[in-house]
Amino acid sequence: MKFRDGMWLTAEGMRVEYAEDVHDITQTEKGLSLLCPTRKIQRRGDTLNLSTLTIDIEAAYDGIISVETTHWDGAVRKGPHFDLFPGGQPNAEPKVVKSEKGTTLSSGSIAATIHPDEHTFDIKFHSADGSRYLTSLLGRSVGLAYSPAPSNPLQTGDMRDFKHYIFTQTGLSVGESVHGLGERFGAFNKVGQSVALWNADGGTSSDQAYKNVSFWLSSKGYGVFIDTPGRVELEIGSERCTRVQTSVEGQRLKWYIIYGPTPKDVLRRYSVLTGKPGKVPSWSFGLWLSTSFTTNYDEATVNSFLEGMKERDTQVDVFHYDCFWMKAFKWTDFVFDSDRFPDPKAQIARLKASGLVKKVCVWINPYIAQHGAAFKHATEKGYLLKRKNGDIWQWDLWQAGMGLVDFTNPEAVEWYVECLNGLFDKGVDCIKTDFGERVPTLDVQWFDKSVDPHKMHNYYAFLYNKVVYEALQKRYGDEEAVLFARSACAGTQRFPLVWGGDCESTPEAMAESVRGGLGLGLCGYSFWSNDIGGFEGYPAPWIYKRWVAFGLLCSHSRLHGSGSYRVPWTIDNDDKSEEGCSRTLSRWTALKARLMPYLFSQAAKAVNSGLPLSLRAMCVEFPEDPTSWYLDRQFMIGDSLLAAPVFEESGEVEFYLPRGKWTSFFTNEVREGPGWFKEEHGFGSLPLFVRENTVLVLGNPEARSAVYDYAQDVEVCLYQIREGASADLVDSNGEPLGSILVGSNGELQGKDLLKGIWTKGNNGRKVDELFFKTIKSL
């Protein structure tokens, strides 16, 4: 939303009024309240016939200050509201000091200072010790706007024909970059972009996003969380080049500024504010195989897939039944198609007993098709969203005559959970919660009449995933619940995990997916996946194999397509060579299994700190390196592994190594950064480097599943270590076992934790000589 036409003019059809003065500062229990007229008050008469804006600046938590701008305070505060501080709000200790520098409110490590000069609108945000400037609200940076512009103030007595907006503009420093705002597939640095936070089913190749998260991270050591689930419009250096403008329709706009100084500090505090990611079980890290979307399948098809994978030395830990486990025109009625699956409970039991798969997932959504029995029942009971005239809200987009589950109705929630429990009774272990983006805002009446339909649009994703996640927790335990969700908003990181939506089967789409995963990770999501090989279309064998390498280095890995299968032998006519799809998938699945001692211990750290496990943007680990804020084709896996996917058929790839010594995982060759490097890779490798001073514990080389004994028959690999380097060990249930520590003489401490026949490599791991032939430096 742009309110101006260049620097000098107001946008056509708009009336804009700015806070021009800080007329009065009142100290409150939590901070400061500023009375800000929209003209400079030079005499008493200036106080008449004008609008004012109230800016409440409050201490929320150590390192966090909230800023709320209000025009008309009598406006009803309709919900839904984000569930903030879900773990309990820590004590905030506001401190107000007046000096020649102005009036300063401190909240632990962050402070806001209001300029002391009369008729000067200037609010600076900085570290409490004064060592670090963050951003400012300067002149003409806070305001209200009408559209269309009223020609007479009397017209605002009836607001039905007007839209009213509140906006703020925080300053952008020279060289500052902005990141996050959910799973966005465009440029990683958002400066120069107009961004609308509005969930949409738009694929991965547009400016729409399935997961709009109202949080952004600055390269200057702070983040901003916008506290509304409604539509938010941002102009990030795109209306005024030196400012980030945030606007909402309504009478209030509230946001929190979160100080670091590092990205890890910002994300840790953000996770306290909006919720820490949930933990996920070890089995979920294994390979997931899907039937794909519109493919034709039955029990025999499923068995042939899993038996074919086993024959090709690839273990599937989770098998996923997509849409057509139910009959056409009846999604979602929670009833297996009896023609294809006459006894689903027995079939699922047979699958698990065979050892072909550990867990089973099924696809659902909150859209209830008219022709299924569920629709009739939900309609009679009042469980579906209604129009204002009492009709069930319906349309024919996606499913014929579909309705939408009204999760603001507690009885509808109970019914939906009963349906889920019916699936759990059949042996279903986890749920793919698809869709939830196309939520209507016009001519609808929610069961909870206190909610604003526009705010429900994005927030619906939170309610939907919360209901399913908590049902899984109740059945299987708090740390065994797993979703595979597509839609999200702020706070949904509490209900892992998510995947990246409908991408094409192209290298460009794989790069889009990388950018999406990086951006979402900077919004507090620890776990993320994508459709290996691409969803739409038919991947060429080389794309499939490059995507396999990338996908198996994400926290979670799933083979899934649209109208075609993603089992490897269908991609390349069952090429059985070492460079074929089947062997490539087998090698990368085995590698991820070997990495599980590292991945699962790193996952615990990520959850505790609100960090992405993988994809972790380079700037999280190397914020002092300016280049790290622009790297969108590589990522960290936890603290110590760096990966750069290959996007070229030739195998050529260019990547950046930050300062320090980096060891190739595949060859033990040591490179020193900072610098750019080029390599050429076969399908069995990509640039995967281990950070110096790393103790990397690799699991049993015979492991193929993600679940095994992570302390048995391991390889302890030392990479440019110094005294005190360590690695935490956990078991496959996530229980801490202890730490492996490098002592003063280079000897390992904590060896008693290791079982069986274990080995130690002082200069990296035992490598396959083949990689010296298939990896070339360019």
Catalytic residue, chosen from 437, 572, 692, 728, is: 437
Q: Which residues of 110-137 are buried (b: 16+ CB within 10 A; e: fewer)?
A: bbbbbbeeeeebbbbbbbbeeebebbbb
CA 205 and chain centroid, separation: 17
Could you give the maximum distance between any two Cα atoms of the chain, in Å?
87
* Residue 633 · residue 644 · CB < 8 Å: yes
Rounded CA-CA distance 291/316 in Å is 13
Rounded CA-CA distance 676/687 in Å is 12
Least Cα distance to 428 among 353, 357, 362 occurs for 362
Question: E strands along 38-101, which residues?
Answer: 52-61, 64-70, 94-99
* Residue 322 · residue 305 · CB < 8 Å: no
End-to-end CA distance of the chain: 46
Beta-strand relationship, 726-730 and 193-197: unpaired
Structure tokens at 519: 């951006």
Structure tokens at 532: 């290996």
Q: Measured between alpha carbons, how far is residue 44 from residues 40, 47, 388 in Å? A: 11, 6, 48
DSSP letter at 602 equals H
Q: Which helix (H) or strand (E) holds 475?
A: helix 453-476
Degrees, nearest 5: CA angle 699-700-703:
105
Instruction: Tell whether the torsion through CA atoms of 427, 431, 434 and 439 is positive or negative.
Output: positive
* Tokens 């003065």 sit on residue: 21
437 carries an active-site annotation: yes
Degrees, nearest 5: CA angle 669-672-675:
120
- 10 Å CB burial of residue 726 (0-12, 13-18, 19+) is middle
Instruction: Tell whether the torsion through CA atoms of 320, 326, 328 and 329 is positive or negative.
Output: negative
Rounded CA-CA distance 670/650 in Å is 24
Q: Put residue 374 in one of left, alpha, beta given phi > 0 → left and psi -120 to 50 → alpha.
A: alpha
Least Cα distance to 150 among 162, 133, 137 occurs for 162
Beta-strand relationship, 498-499 and 528-529: parallel
313 carries an active-site annotation: no
Catalytic residue, chosen from 21, 239, 317, 502, is: 502
361: amino acid identity, one letter: C
Catalytic residue, chosen from 434, 632, 679, 715, is: 434
Bridge partners, 61 (sequence order)? 64
- 10 Å CB burial of residue 758 (0-12, 13-18, 19+) is middle
Least Cα distance to 427 among 518, 514, 516, 318 occurs for 318
Rounded CA-CA distance 422/430 in Å is 13
Q: What length is written for the chain?
A: 778
* Tokens 């391991």 sit on residue: 714
Q: How many CB atoms lie within 10 A of CB 88?
A: 6
Q: How many Å is the Cα radius of gyration of the chain?
A: 27
* Tokens 């946001």 sit on residue: 255
692 carries an active-site annotation: no
* Residue 706 · residue 283 · CB < 8 Å: yes
Rounded CA-CA distance 80/408 in Å is 10
* Residue 538 · residue 581 · CB < 8 Å: no
DSSP 327-365: -TT--SS----TTT-S-HHHHHHHHHHHTS-SEEEEEE-
Least Cα distance to 567 among 298, 338, 303, 752 occurs for 303
Rounded CA-CA distance 414/383 in Å is 10
- 10 Å CB burial of residue 10 (0-12, 13-18, 19+) is middle
Q: Report, as residue numbers or ranges, the catalytic residues.
A: 434, 437, 502
